[in-house]
Structure 1
Amino acid sequence: MSDTYESLSKAVDDDGGVHTAPMATLRLINGAARLGPIVCATISKELSKHGLGHIPVKLPESSNEDVRIFRLGTQIADVVAAVQAPSHEGDEVLRTVGGMASDKIARIKAIIDE
């Protein structure tokens, strides 16, 4: 379990740019006794300061709920942004990611069929 924003950032990087954590962990890292709108807003700002984004956009106020934390400035962040804010540019991002996955699957199938 992470106990600082730095260790959480390392966990995100160690997990390939995306990591799921309970709100209880974020609450403890922030040093708060309880979650509420102000604490959640502070956590969101601190994550951003450490180059991290999160889903959902509005952090839950329940310690039992999980959130997905991702590294900003990565392809994962681009996909998250494309899903959250529909646009023509976002559509292209999603098509690219989907196409890359399809290409990999096709190559794997070709290798298996040899």
Structure 2
Amino acid sequence: MSDTYESLGEAVDDNGGVFAAPMATLRLINGAARLGPGVCATISKELSKHGLGHIPVKLPESSTEDVRIFRLGTQIADVVAAVQVPSHEGDEALRAVGGVASDKISRIKAIIDE
């Protein structure tokens, strides 16, 4: 279990740039007794200070809910931004990601069919 923002960042990096964590973990890292709007806003700011983003954009106030933590400045962050903020550039980024995945799936199917 992550007990600091640094160890949470390591967990993100060790898991390919994305990591699901319960809000209870983020609450404990922050040193808060309870989750509320102010604590969630502080957690969001601290994650950002440590180069981490999160989904959903508005952190839940329930300790049992999971959030997805990702490394800012990565392709994952670019895809998240493309989904969250619709734009023509974002659509192009999503098409590129979809095309790469589609190409890989086609190649795997061809290998299996041989």
Q: Give distance in 2, aligned partners of 1:23 and 1:35.
A: 8
> Is the counterpart of residue 52 in structure 1 residue 52 in structure 2?
yes
What's 1:107 paired with? 107
The SS at the match of 1:19 is strand
Looking at structure 2, the residues matched to 50 and 81 of structure 1 have their Cα atoms a distance apart, in angstroms, of: 18
CA distance in 2, matches of 1:62, 1:113: 47
Listed as ranges, the gaps of 5+ residues in structure 2 are none
Query: Helix, strand or coil for the counterpart of 1:20?
Result: strand
The Cα of 1:109 is off from its aligned counterpart by: 1.3
State the match for 2:35 in structure 1.
35
Q: How does 1:58-73 map to 2 (within 5 A)?
A: 58-73=58-73
TM-score (norm 1): 0.98
Unpaired segments ≥5 residues, structure 1 = none
C-alpha distance in 1 between matches for 2:112 and 2:56: 39
Correspondence 1:81 to 2:55: no
Task: Indicate the RMSD between aligned Cα atoms, in angstroms.
Answer: 0.6
Once residues 75 and 83 of structure 2 are traced to their aligned partners in structure 1, the CA distance between those partners, rounded to angstroms, is: 12
- TM-fit CA distance, 1:99: 0.1
- Give the share of equivalent positions with the same residue, in percent: 89
Q: Secondary structure at the match of 1:54?
A: strand
Query: How many aligned residue pairs are there?
Result: 114
